[in-house]
Amino acid sequence: GNELNKISFNLYHGFKVKSIKVDKKTVSFSRNKDLVTINHKLDKGDFFLKINYEVDKLSPLFYANDRAIHFPSYFPWVPQFNLESSLINYESNFHRQMILDSNAVDYKLSVKGSTKGFTNLQKQKESTYVGTSTNGISFFSGDLTQRKINGYTIILPRTWELSLKSFGDFEGYLKKLVEFRNSIVEENISLPKTIFILPITQMNDSYFEENIWTFKDYAIVYYPVYTDQSEKGLVYKEYLTYSFLPSVFWKNTFINPDKFEDAMLFDVFIGYYFNKSHSIEDEYIKFVLAQYNEQTHSYSSSTVQQIINILNSKNDEEIKAFFKEWLELLQTGKVDNESLEQIAKKG
């Protein structure tokens, strides 16, 4: 038919929806956690949707107060039509996942308050930002500063400015990681020219997948607050390998929460292979393999050993072909112990 019976969108449950209007007419809605559903028949085609909402109770991971704001785009602080959850529970810990809409959106953001903010949009005038993005809106404020280095725009805490002395090495290392990724994935990317370098807010720091988010126009690079942000503070090679590669291989495509373990196993071995190829000391792979127990994981020890054998015995071209096939299984949701074992035997 030519009508929609309802429309739903994703908005973090810490925001209270006060009212919704469709073409200036107030409509009823229902809510289940982050999912908001408008119970109103709509003609198919263009319509104007106005959502009035305010902060009620935010997460300690994503906050807005009179001192600082931390609203990254992968968190639904702006309504999204991707209806997946932005936080999933994995091994009794919260894990962030990407829930951005894939279509381009025209944004206009007006900010009230005296604190200077930074965003991926272009500044139109004081406290007003505009832009078209497929990467949503990120907005950060607090004791941050902006610097231009080597053609890059860097936003970071004032107390971390000394670490920019190592930016050349940092840039060079990330470019190596991008080049490595492009040698496996056909569609090439480049290192974004805007980089937010921020202290991470999280309840645990055991997953490298939490640390870096890379989009077309900008990247967010998080470091734990306990890292030494002095002159060499940006170049933690093992940390960057395992944090950056997930952000350019799979994090921008939705991964079924039930498949998070599959993605983590891919990250472990793709990171190990890069580090091994570049003679970078790797303690993480030793930790993972020492702790690995097939009784509590989806993959058998024999499959894991077959992967190790490939990385230790095959040439670069064969190894990259193996990872490309593994990535395709991951992105289509078809990866499991049996399918991974099959391509490992073939590899």
**CA 347 – CA 169 distance, rounded (Å):** 35
Give the model's pLDDT for residue 238. 95
Give the model's pLDDT for residue 6. 85
Report yes or no: 65 and 113 within 8 Å, Cβ to Cβ: no
Give the model's pLDDT for residue 295. 84
The pLDDT tens digits of the residues spanning 23-48 come to 999 999 999 999 999 988 877 778 88
**CA 78 – CA 274 distance, rounded (Å):** 36
220 CB neighbour count, 10 Å cutoff: 24
Low-confidence spans in the chain with pLDDT less than 50: none
Give the model's pLDDT for residue 3. 63
Give the model's pLDDT for residue 193. 97
Give the model's pLDDT for residue 347. 66
**CA 251 – CA 245 distance, rounded (Å):** 9
Give the model's pLDDT for residue 86. 78
The pLDDT tens digits of the residues spanning 258-281 come to 678 899 999 999 999 999 999 999
The two tokens of residue 266 are 């891919």
Give the model's pLDDT for residue 204. 57
Which residues on neighbouring strands pair with residue 7, listed in sequence order? 38
**CA 135 – CA 64 distance, rounded (Å):** 21
Give the model's pLDDT for residue 13. 92
